[in-house]
Amino acid sequence: MGDIETPESNVPQQSALISVLPSKEFATSRKGMLLIAEVALSFISFVCFAASTAAAFVTVPVLAFLSALFLLFAYSTKLNERFKGFRWPLMDFMRCVASSIIFFIVSIMAVSKYADGSSKAAGIFGFIATIAFALDFYFIFNELANFLKQGGESNEEPSRQQDEFSDSDSD
């Protein structure tokens, strides 16, 4: 009799699953849509590379998929706000730059060197992933440039002003 599942017994499992999925607010944001596109395109490219004669390139989409999936999870669960000392925007920028360059090179090689259809499909999805990663690093770069133009975080300005007007001599 204890084996019968009631809808109430699924509530903790459903809430655990919902807490892992990105919120609707984040998923509809520009960053959320780019990360979801990066995850999906990297995974599709991985599947195509795994089925092709260019299987040696399968590492690139796997690493891009895992890193994008980690950042999707981190941003959607606001893990980045809990670990403030970690340089999230810089890490995200470097991930996007490296992924876009490597995806572009691997996609050119897959399309030009291999003749089978899955290699060509992997290359095409790699080119689309390159565009998604390049858009992401462009937007991150613009945000970082605006951040640096403003002089950093707003909570650092009061301490900087306090240091400028300080009368103490510290030798």
Its pTM stands at 0.74
Residue 4 is assigned to a structural domain of this protein: no
Q: How far apart are CA 54 and CA 51, in angstroms?
A: 8
Residue 168 is assigned to a structural domain of this protein: no
Residue 162 is assigned to a structural domain of this protein: no
Q: pLDDT, tens digit, for every residue of 64-117?
A: 999 999 988 888 888 777 877 777 888 889 999 999 999 999 999 999 998 899
Host domain of residue 123: 24-151
| Angle subtended by helix axes 117-149 and 30-50, to nearest 10 | 150
Residue 38 is assigned to a structural domain of this protein: yes
Residue 84 is assigned to a structural domain of this protein: yes
Residue 169 is assigned to a structural domain of this protein: no
Q: Are 88 and 80 in contact (CB under 8 A)?
A: yes
Residue 164 is assigned to a structural domain of this protein: no
Residue 167 is assigned to a structural domain of this protein: no
Q: How far apart are CA 119 and CA 33, in angstroms?
A: 26
Q: How far apart are CA 107 and CA 121, in angstroms?
A: 9
The token pair at 33 is 């849509």
What is the 8-class DSSP label of residue 23? P
Q: pLDDT, tens digit, for every residue of 119-164?
A: 999 999 999 999 999 999 999 999 888 888 887 655 443 333 344 4
How many domains does the chain fold into? Answer: 1
